Chains A and B, each alone.
Chain A
Amino acid sequence: MIQIPLAVYLLFLAPLTALAFGFFILRPWKPEWTHIPILISCVVVTISTAFLAAFVYSGHGLDGTLFRWMMAGDWSIVFGVRVDGIGVAVLSMVSLVGALIHFYAAGYMKGDPGFSRFFLFFHLFYLAMIGLLVSNNYVQFYLFWELVGACSYFLIAHWLHKPTARRAALQAFMTNRVGDFGLMLAVLLILARYHNTRFAMLYTIAPGMAPELLALSGFLFFWAAAAKSAQFPLYFWLPDAMEGPTPVSALMHAATMVTAGIFLLVRSWPLIGSVPGLPNFIAAVGAATAIGAALLACTQKDLKRILAYSTVSHLGLMAFALGLGQVAAALFHLVVHGFFKAALFLCAGNVAHGSGKPTVSVDEAGGLKRSLPLTYACFAIAAMSLAGVWPLAGFYSKDAILDAACERGPWAMAAGLAIAMGGALYISRMLFLTFFGPRAEQKPGEHVHEAPLIMILPVALIVVGAFSVGWLGRHFTHLLLSGWPETVPLPVLPELSAKVSGMGLAAMGCGVAISYVLTMRLPSFDWDWRRRHPGLEAAFACDLGWRKVVAWFAAVVVRGADRIGRVFDHEVLDAAIEKSADACQKLSQTGSSLATGSLSDSLWWLMTGAAALLAWAGLR
Chain B
Amino acid sequence: MIWLLRPPLELLQPQAVLAVGALCVLAAGASRRVGLGLIKAMAGASVLAALLMLMTTPFWAASPPLLSSDILGWAFQGLFLCAALPLLYLMKPADEIPPALVLASVLGMGLIAVSGNLLMLFIGLEMMSLPAYLLVARSRSPQALEGAVKYFFAGSAAGAIFLMGMALHFAATGALSLEPSTDPLGIAGAFLMIATALFKLGAVPLHFWLPDVYEASDPELTAFFSTGLKAAAVLFLTRLAPLAPPWAMAWAAALTILFGALVALRQKNLQRLLAYSSISHAGFMLLAVAAWMAQGRSPRASLAVFFYLAAYLFMSTGTFLWLKTEGVSEREEMRGLGKARPLSAAALAVLLLSLAGIPPTAGFAAKFLVFWEAFKAGLYVPLILAGLGALVSLGYYLGLIRDMYFEEGTKPLASAPHPARAVVLACAIASILLGLMPWL
CB atoms of A and B under 8 A apart anywhere in the complex? Answer: yes
Contact A599 B153 (CB under 8 A): yes
Contact pick for A620, options B187, B192, B194, CB 8 Å: B187
| Stretch of B205-213, B291-299, B314-322 lying at the A interface | B205-213
Task: Please tell me if B157 contacts chain A, counting CB pairs below 8 Å.
Answer: yes
Residues of B within 8 A of A591 (CB): 259, 262-263
Bound together, the chains give a CA A585 to CA B267 distance in angstroms of 11
Contact of A588 among B184, B208, B211, B266 (CB under 8 A): B266
Selected contact of A617 from candidates B190, B203, B212, B392, CB within 8 Å: B190
A85-93, A167-175, A180-188, A607-615 - interface stretch: A607-615
Can you list, as one digit per residue, whether each of B252-275 has a CB less than 8 Å from chain A (1) or not (0)?
000000010011111100000000
Judged by a CB distance under 8 angstroms, whether B214 is at the interface is: no
Knowing A597-B212, A613-B191 touch, does A606 contact B263 (C-beta < 8 A)?
Answer: no
Select A592's contact among B154, B191, B248, B266, beta carbons within 8 Å.
Answer: B266
Complex interface bits, A118-145 against B, C-beta within 8 A gives 1, otherwise 0: 0000000000000000000000000000
Interface residues of A in 584-620 (CB under 8 A from B): 584-585, 587-589, 591-592, 594-595, 597, 599, 601-603, 605-610, 612-614, 616-618, 620
Q: A614 to B191, Cβ gap below 8 A?
A: yes
Contacts of B311 in A (CB 8 A): none
Inter-chain contacts of A620 with B (CB < 8 A):
187, 245
B331 at the interface (CB under 8 A from A): no
Residues of B within 8 A of A585 (CB): 265-266
Q: How far is the CA of A594 from the CA of B195 in the complex (A)?
A: 20
A603 and B192 form a contact (CB under 8 A): no
A618 to B191, CA, bound (A): 10
Most buried by B among A585, A601, A606, A608: A606
Task: Tell me the minimal C-beta distance from B250 to chain A in angstroms.
Answer: 12
Kindly identify, within residues 211 to 239 of chain B, every residue whose CB is under 8 Å from any CB belonging to chain A: 211-212
- Nearest CB on A from B282, distance (A): 14
B161 within 8 A of A: yes
Q: Verify A588–B263 contact, CB threshold 8 A.
A: yes
Whether A605 and B262, one on each chain, are in contact in the complex, defined by CB atoms closer than 8 angstroms, is no
B-side interface mostly: helix
Contact assessment for A609 and B206 in the assembled complex, using a CB-CB cutoff below 8 Å: yes
Q: Tell me how far the C-beta of A88 lies from the nearest C-beta in chain B, rounded to whole angstroms.
A: 66
Interface size class, chain B: 35 or more
B392 contacts A584, C-beta separation under 8 Å = yes
Residues of B contacting A605 with CB < 8 Å? 205-206, 208
- Contact present for B266 and A617 (CB under 8 Å): no
The reply to whether A613 and B265 form a contact with Cβ atoms under 8 Å apart is no
Contact of A609 among B153, B188, B195 (CB under 8 A): B195
CB within 8 Å of A: which of B376-398?
392, 395
A324 to B86, CA, bound (A): 98
Report yes or no: A617 in contact with B188, Cβ–Cβ below 8 A. yes
Once the chains are docked, how many angstroms separate the CA of A174 from the CA of B194? 73
Cβ of A587 and Cβ of B262 under 8 Å apart? Answer: yes
Question: Nearest-CB distance from B399 to chain A (Å)?
Answer: 12
Main SS class of interface, A: helix
B150 at the A interface (CB under 8 A): yes
On whether the beta carbons of A599 and B157 are closer than 8 Å, the reply is no
Shortest C-beta distance, B1 to chain A (Å), equals: 44
9 closest pairs, A vs B, by CB? A609-B205, A602-B208, A591-B263, A610-B195, A588-B265, A617-B191, A609-B206, A588-B266, A613-B191
**Which of chain A's residues 561-602 have a Cβ closer than 8 Å to chain B?**
584-585, 587-589, 591-592, 594-595, 597, 599, 601-602
In Å, the complex CA distance between A591 and B255 comes to 12
Flag if B263 contacts A613 (CB, 8 Å): no
Within 8 A of B (CB), among A148-189: none
CB of B248 within 8 A of CB of A599, answer no
Check B194 against A613 for contact (C-beta < 8 Å): yes
Note all chain A residues with C-beta closer than 8 A to B267.
592
CB neighbours of A592 from chain B (8 A): 263, 266-267
Taking CB atoms, residues of chain A closer than 8 Å to B392 are 584
Q: How far is the CB of A492 from the nearest CB of chain B, in Å?
A: 77
Question: Of A594, A595, A616, which one neighbours B191 at CB under 8 angstroms?
Answer: A616
Q: Residue B208 contacts which of A584, A589, A601, A613 (CB distance < 8 angstroms)?
A: A601
**How far apart sit A505 and B421, CA to CA, in the bound complex (Å)?**
105
A583 and chain B: residue at smallest CB distance: B262
Interchain nearest-CB distance for B393 vs A (Å): 11
Query: Can you list 28 A-B contacts (CB < 8 A)?
Result: A588-B265, A589-B266, A591-B259, A591-B262, A594-B208, A599-B150, A601-B208, A602-B150, A602-B208, A602-B209, A603-B157, A605-B205, A605-B206, A605-B208, A606-B157, A606-B158, A606-B205, A606-B206, A606-B208, A607-B157, A609-B199, A610-B161, A610-B192, A610-B195, A613-B191, A614-B191, A617-B188, A620-B187
Say how far B256's CB is from chain A's closest CB, in angstroms.
Answer: 11
Q: How far is the CB of A222 from chain B (nearest CB, A)?
A: 55
Task: Find out whether the CB atom of A606 lies under 8 angstroms from the CB atom of B188.
Answer: no
Q: Mark B124-163, 1 if CB is under 8 A from A, else 0.
A: 0000000000000000000000000110011001100100
Q: By CB atoms of chain B within 10 A, which of A589, A592, A594, A610 has the most?
A: A610
The reply on B198 being an interface residue by CB < 8 A is yes
In the complex, chain A residues 396-422 whose Cβ is within 8 Å of any chain B Cβ: none
Query: Bound complex: CA of A101 vs CA of B187, how far in Å?
Result: 101
CA distance A605 to B198 in the complex (A): 13
The residues of A that contact B262 with a CB separation of less than 8 Å are 584, 587-588, 591
The interface bits of chain A over 94-109 (1 if a CB of B lies within 8 angstroms of the residue's CB, else 0) are 0000000000000000
Q: How far is the CA of A592 from the CA of B265 in the complex (A)?
A: 10
Q: Are A616 and B205 in contact (CB under 8 A)?
A: no
B159 to chain A, nearest CB (A): 12
